[in-house]
Amino acid sequence: MEAAAPITPVINIEQEKKEILNRYRGLLRSSRRKFDDDDKKMIRKAFNVAVEAHKEARRKSGEPYIYHPIAVARIAAEEIGLGATAIVCALLHDVVEDTDITLKDIEGMFGKKVASIIDGLTKISGVFDASSSLQAENFRKMLLTLADDVRVILIKLADRLHNMRTLESMERTKQLKIASETLYLYAPLAHRLGLNNIKTELEDLGLKYTEPEIYSDLDKKLKDTQAERARYIHRFIIPLREALHEQKIKFRIFGRPKSIYSIWSKIKNKNVPFEEVYDIFAIRILVDSPPEQEKADCWRVYSIVTDFYYPNPDRLRDWVSTPKANGYEALHTTVMGPNGQWVEVQVRSERMNEVAEKGYAAHWKYKQGGPEHTEDPLEEWLRKIRESLSNPDSNALDFIDDFKLNLFADEIFVFTPKGEMRSMPVNSTALDFAFDVHSEIGTKCIGAKVNHKLVPLSHKLNSGDQVELLTSNKQTPKADWMNFVVTAKAKSRIKEFLKEEKVKQIALGKETLQEKFEQNKLEFSDVFVKRLASFLNLSDVSELYYRVGMGNLSTKELKDFIKVKDKKIEPQVPAQTLEQLVSNKRGKSDFLVIGDSIDNLEYKLSPCCSPIPGDDVFGFITAHEGILIHRVNCPNAIELMSNHAYRIVKAKWTSQKLISFLAGIKIIGIDKMGLVNNVTQVISNELNVNMRYISFDTNDGTFEGNIIVFVHDTAHLTSLMKKLEKVDGVIKVSRVDTNQ
């Protein structure tokens, strides 16, 4: 019997046209802004241009491509609250890159502002392109557009959110790459721009594709406990609702579950099971107050909550008096609710809530139409980003690392001697503060007085510290300063200064080397200078000049070189550049197969995550160590896939002979007589398992054991862990990296 031919889906063009029109009307209805006739005409015109430009194109799912720009425009309008210009740009965001329409055409049809935003979006469309080794540089270009128009970033985030929502139709490797870079950069960026809802959804979707089993397990647990949670929230709210009505406060009160990603972070960081994450939901109370009364009303509500429920004094967060750097304002407290459960309560005004949910766009709406805030933390942060970007020479990857530091960093508030308050990231030092005040002060800083006590530059600051800076004209930045500064501004200024110093030292070194050559009657030519660099195993001539400039060339080294100067000295550098290595390895085979048919490719198992057969893995091409194999859930995976996607190769295990791999197991439980003996008995009885290391610590009736064993694959390891869980007294068994 012949196999049936695959059925090609029949496309109903008329049905699709109706659906496109429905989606367009939905976009107009969903907008939070009122449009005048000119706005409506411009949006309709952009829609018509986009439909025509993308008429032949389809997405991976088979849908018409135009669904994507309409969805991005809807997110920009409905979920971020942007206006007509941004909607036009979102509808057109792919036309210049994907069709024959040029920027000049866009400018002619829609004006300079729209063309400039589309230009920004087109420039950054190649960010993280798998074939490019310049992902970081492209991301840097994207952030440069912050200086021109923040709407570029907001539309880019809307674009990324829709791509994440429709990631299902992509192949697994693409899903991993896109989800990794979303967790690495886009979610933190949404957080910093105050787009809380978008940040939360990006994180949850990122987890769904990077850790599908963990995501579905937590999702199921949340759904299973939903009815129980709803009953508890109802019981918690009843007395509060009555008291708030009595006080004649206009309010809304409801329970809100934590995101799956934040629950997973808590489980991972605090090493507790799902059942012990006490703040799986938060109670939110929104007060409808005029701007001048907001702060007082929030504290009144806090007072009512603590009349009924005992607060945890260490868990009060006052972002009403000092908003976060992304504009977030609220009071958070954790109180002891019924049945001995801790419950987080968030109190904000309706205005604060809109700024928290809609971020930058709402922030500006209120700034223009509402009260003038003397401090504008969001604008201050954008100013710092523009400053970081102003140095054109900074290395793009370093820049991304520095930029990330300031995305998710918690804040402290410190004061100048005159009482001016400044917001700094947690772990900032006195030197970070000096650079924050002014670059010139940073470069000349020799120390500081914190709360009137003399401290070194590396002193870590705490919230509430008052800092007086001490400077000297003789001071210059030192290389070791990089070890204790954390802010992007301090890092980039120190690097800049050290780079300038290196250029001066290279020039001095060249002069000095010429003199030394002349003294030794040696011709100062490119040939001999290069040979000396090779003789000293230096990568290039500039490194040689720098070393000489720093006074690190001994007379003996020069004399030894003169003896062999006429022999050709081969430089000790890799035979292939990293780019050649990457293209060779990627070109050989789409799949790097680890196991019997390895094709003689050199590979090592990465010590940072110790993969074993059965783990979901990928290969990472390094310059000197061949291919390193990492687990997909390795702590470093997200960064590698985001910044170096072009060096990632697919990898999979084939059938293994009985080779053993090291795996670490952590056991936590209650200390009982004979427990260690029972645990070792289980391991010894497991077929072909040998122990390499075992240690047990007991503390006041509890114990923690670390065991390193040889296993064949994940199935073998899982079987052993399940047996260990059944040992009387064992509470939790988990896998740990063997290098810990």
Tell me which residues are annotated as active site.
97-98
Q: Where are the alpha helices (DSSP H) in 550-674?
A: 555-564, 578-588, 637-643
- 460 with 427: CB under 8 angstroms? yes
Q: Which residues, in sequence order, are bridge partners of residue 413?
A: 423
In terms of Cα–Cα distance, which of 234, 223, 371, 357 is closest to 290? Answer: 371
Quote the CA–CA distance of 284 and 541 in Å, as a whole number: 64
Paired tokens of 64: 């018409």
| Pick from 253, 164, 244, 246: nearest CA to 202 | 164
Q: Which residues contact 596 (CB under 8 A, 6 or more apart)?
A: 654, 655
Residues 6+ away with beta carbon under 8 Å from 462: 412
CA distances from 524 to 374, 536, 541 (A): 63, 17, 13
**CB count, 10 Å around CB of 416?**
14
Pairing verdict, β 603-605 and 627-631: parallel
Q: What contacts 229, CB < 8 A, 6 or more positions away?
A: 255, 257, 280, 281
Q: What 8-state DSSP symbol labels residue 280?
A: S
Contact 90, 120 (CB under 8 A): no
Structure tokens given for 598: 């390895």
DSSP 503: H
Strand partners, 423: 413
Report yes or no: 409 and 458 within 8 Å, Cβ to Cβ: no
What amino acid occupies position 47? F
Helix (H, G, I), strand (E, B) or coil at 407: coil
